[in-house]
């Protein structure tokens, strides 16, 4: 599900950034009565996410533009697939083309890599989750794309959940002190996650009452030890630069969750183009 109030705000900001006062090229060249039929084409194989967002771009520019979507969110498409057709004002199509493509390309790239991660560990009982390493201003869309691809979301922002990280622990003077202070000032409905770098830190976090423990940059041997100690007591999350090549072995340690910043922070956009194929009226 998407919060369309927030999505519309992203689109309006994107249009203001791209068009500013007016589209000098389109406004001079294209008559306001001109209508066209265009199609959106996948130029490589991948998982589609964000068609509904791209559609909204054109609807905001002109409510009479008709977007026919040919595939479903989360569908894997092949090169050459026409994923949507756009019919209506030529000016609106050209005004919105770049923003619509930027968003759907980015979101589909995230969905594609998320599907790849999911499929690699589909037979192992582990969740692959994203992080807050998202493009500023686009987090709601990028985390949505992760879910479309089949992975899961970590906390949305700093207000949503507690995660006591190494710098918090250093600043306050220890894991137990941090957890005690958090729990004394926190609603009972919110879980407490703590980042640790050692087995000793894990034991301290468990004893202090953590609900979730993030194993930061631990090697596989220590992760296995952590699972033996923490199983049934806390949720265990592996984190820290885990590559796709390391995914299976990390999952086999028995951790519950693996967080992967690469799902959003270093994604290649899926190659999608928009082509005007027919002038309906000029």
* Number of domains the chain is built from: 2
- Residue-level pLDDT at 278: 65
The Cα 137–Cα 198 span in angstroms is: 35
Within-domain flag for 77: yes
Active site residues: 98, 133, 165, 195, 216
Asked if 111 and 76 touch (Cβ cutoff 8 Å), the reply is no
Question: Binding-site residues, please?
Answer: 98, 131-133, 155, 165, 195, 216, 239-241, 260-262
Q: Please compute the mean of the pLDDT values over residues 7-21 and round it to a whole number.
A: 95
Q: Do residues 162 and 248 share a domain?
A: yes
Within-domain flag for 228: yes
What are the pLDDT digits (tens) for 94-130? 999 999 999 999 999 999 999 999 999 999 999 999 9
Within-domain flag for 138: no
Q: Do residues 181 and 244 share a domain?
A: yes
Within-domain flag for 233: yes
What are the pLDDT digits (tens) for 20-78? 888 999 999 999 999 999 999 999 999 999 999 999 999 999 999 999 999 999 999 99
What are the pLDDT digits (tens) for 232-271? 999 999 999 899 999 999 999 999 999 999 999 989 999 9
- Residue-level pLDDT at 280: 61
Within-domain flag for 28: yes
Question: Binding-site residues for substrate, please?
Answer: 98, 131-133, 155, 165, 195, 216, 239-241, 260-262
- Residue-level pLDDT at 210: 97
Q: Are strands 127-129 and 192-196 parallel, antiparallel or unpaired?
A: unpaired
Domain holding 62, by residue range, is: 4-117+268-281
- Residue-level pLDDT at 282: 47
Q: Do residues 222 and 273 share a domain?
A: no
Within-domain flag for 90: yes
List Cβ neighbours of 32 (8 Å cut-off, separation of 6 or more): 89, 91
CATH code: domain of residue 19: 3.90.1170.20
């Amino acid at each position: 599900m998407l919060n369309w109030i927030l999505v519309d705000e992203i689109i309006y900001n994107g249009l203001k950034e791209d068009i500013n006062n007016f589209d000098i090229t389109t406004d001079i060249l294209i008559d306001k009565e001109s209508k066209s039929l265009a199609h959106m084409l996948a130029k490589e194989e991948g998982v589609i996410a964000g068609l509904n967002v791209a559609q909204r771009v054109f609807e905001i520019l002109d409510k009479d533009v008709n977007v026919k979507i040919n595939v479903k969110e989360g569908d894997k498409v092949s090169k050459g697939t026409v994923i949507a057709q756009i019919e209506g004002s030529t000016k609106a199509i050209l005004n919105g083309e770049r923003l619509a493509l930027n968003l759907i390309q980015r979101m589909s790239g995230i969905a594609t890599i998320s599907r790849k991660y999911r499929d690699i560990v589909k037979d192992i009982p582990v969740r692959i989750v994203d992080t807050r390493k998202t493009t500023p201003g686009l987090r709601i869309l990028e985390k949505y794309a992760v879910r479309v691809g089949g992975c899961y979301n970590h906390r949305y922002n700093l207000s949503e959940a507690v995660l006591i990280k190494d710098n918090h622990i250093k600043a306050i003077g220890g894991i137990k002190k941090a957890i005690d202070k958090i729990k004394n000032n926190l609603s009972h409905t919110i879980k407490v996650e703590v980042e640790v770098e050692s087995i000793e830190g894990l034991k301290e976090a468990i004893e202090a009452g953590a609900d979730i423990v993030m194993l930061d940059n631990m090697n596989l041997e220590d992760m296995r030890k952590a699972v033996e100690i923490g199983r049934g007591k806390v949720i265990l999350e592996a984190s820290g630069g885990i590559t796709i090549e390391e995914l299976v072995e990390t999952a086999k340690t028995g951790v519950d969750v693996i967080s992967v910043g690469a799902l959003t922070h270093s994604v290649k956009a899926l190659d999608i183009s928009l082509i005007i194929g027919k002038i309906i009226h000029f």
